[in-house]
Amino acid sequence: MQVQAIDQEPTLNDILAIDSEELAERMLEPATMRAIYEDTEEIIGRSRTPDSLYSLVHNAIKTMGEVWGNLAEDSEPSACRKGCSMCCHQSVMVTAPEVLLTVKLLRDNLADAEIDQLQARVADRAKEIEGRTTNQRMDSRIACAFLVDDICSIYPARPLQCRGGYSEDVEYCRSLFDDRETTQQGVADGSVDGRYMLIPKMLYDSAQVGMAGALKAEGLSADPLEFTAAMAVALADPNITEKWLQGWPVFDGARLVRQASANGDQYITEADAAV
Ligand code: SF4
């Protein structure tokens, strides 16, 4: 799953007060959280502008790229290949600055007519995911709006959680995609070996939690958002970044909220939660 709670740690001290066993269980790594938290706080503390928002995401991407780049050399090779897109049929949890940077890059590189077409396509996909948990999306084969012909169309600008998602075994991904429930039960009872790579997931999730913690400490929104739903909102409003910086609740309809269920917690967009 690409979802990871980012809405529960208001400050770095709160994050680090969680005991190490729980941090490990939640796949979070304190040094990474602290580093990205401090970088984010410094960047946003210097100036609160669209450029500083873009900088803090660039910083997290660059830092984690270097850290994971070094570790990847000593890790088992990933099974991920261009054109393999099973994991892109889940909810992707993002922070607002990740969404705002992606929109800026798209607006910088696409003509107005292309943005209009994209906006319509993303809005349609956002409607399709309404009322669905990440499991239901996978079961219904509803892809991220930016998956085109099984390839990520925004690969250089993809969110942090997408960057940390690597598989060790394509057969595990296929089993999850084709028979999610049985596969997840197998992972839970130990009969199936979950084969996502732990280190990149832990690094990128920790970076995202550190970034969200600093945003919240600085009085900005750290709400966890669903990527496609948030992009639908952002593409529709040329002034979205300024509004978000001023505290407008622009992404309220794209929030992911946690719901307890018999099979563990599930995330669902806020609009869906009322359904
Ligand atoms: S942004 Fe790209 S990598 Fe991430 S889920 Fe969407 S298509 Fe896949």
The string of pLDDT tens digits covering residues 47-63 is: 999 999 999 999 999 99
Give whole-number Cα distances, 112 to 13, 35, 232, 237, in Å: 44, 38, 16, 13
What pLDDT is stored for residue 275 in this prediction?
Answer: 30
Place 202 in a pLDDT band, splitting at 50, 70 and 90.
Answer: very high
Q: How far is the CA of 171 from the centre of ligand 1 (A)?
A: 20
User: What are residue 8's DSSP bridge partners?
Assistant: none
Judge whether residue 231 has pLDDT over 60.
Answer: yes
Q: What is the pLDDT of residues 65-95, one digit of tens each?
A: 999 999 988 888 899 999 999 999 999 999 9
Q: How far is the CA of 162 from the centre of ligand 1 (A)?
A: 6
Q: How far is the CA of 161 from the centre of ligand 1 (A)?
A: 9
Place 241 in a pLDDT band, splitting at 50, 70 and 90.
Answer: very high
Atom 5 of ligand 1, residue of closest alpha carbon: 88
What pLDDT is stored for residue 36 in this prediction?
Answer: 95
Q: How far is the CA of 251 from the centre of ligand 1 (A)?
A: 19
Atom 1 of ligand 1, residue of closest alpha carbon: 158
Atom 8 of ligand 1, residue of closest alpha carbon: 88
Atom of ligand 1 nearest to the CA of 90: 5
If one residue of 152, 163, 167, 227 were mutated to test the ligand 1 pocket, choosing by the most ligand atoms within 8 A of its CB, it would be: 152
Distance from C-alpha of 164 to C-alpha of 162, rounded to nearest angstrom = 5
- Of 78-87, 100-109, 125-134, the poorest mean pLDDT is in 125-134
Q: How far is the CA of 18 from the centre of ligand 1 (A)?
A: 31
CA angle 45, 49, 53 (to 5 degrees): 75
User: What are residue 268's DSSP bridge partners?
Assistant: 257
Pocket of ligand 1 (CB under 6 A): 88, 92, 144, 146-147, 152, 154, 158-159, 162
pTM for the whole structure: 0.89
What pLDDT is stored for residue 1 in this prediction?
Answer: 44
Give whole-number Cα distances, 152 to 47, 66, 148, in Å: 32, 22, 6
- Average pLDDT of the chain is 88
Q: How far is the CA of 226 from the centre of ligand 1 (A)?
A: 12
Atom 4 of ligand 1, residue of closest alpha carbon: 162
Q: Give the tokens for residue 9.
A: 């740690």
What pLDDT is stored for residue 133 in this prediction?
Answer: 87
Atom of ligand 1 nearest to the CA of 147: 7
Tell me the mean pLDDT in the region 21-43.
Answer: 84
CA angle 36, 8, 273 (to 5 degrees): 125
Other CB atoms closer than 10 Å to residue 201's CB: what's the count? Answer: 19
Judge whether residue 21 has pLDDT over 70.
Answer: no
Q: How far is the CA of 143 from the centre of ligand 1 (A)?
A: 8
Distance from C-alpha of 272 to C-alpha of 131, rounded to nearest angstrom = 4
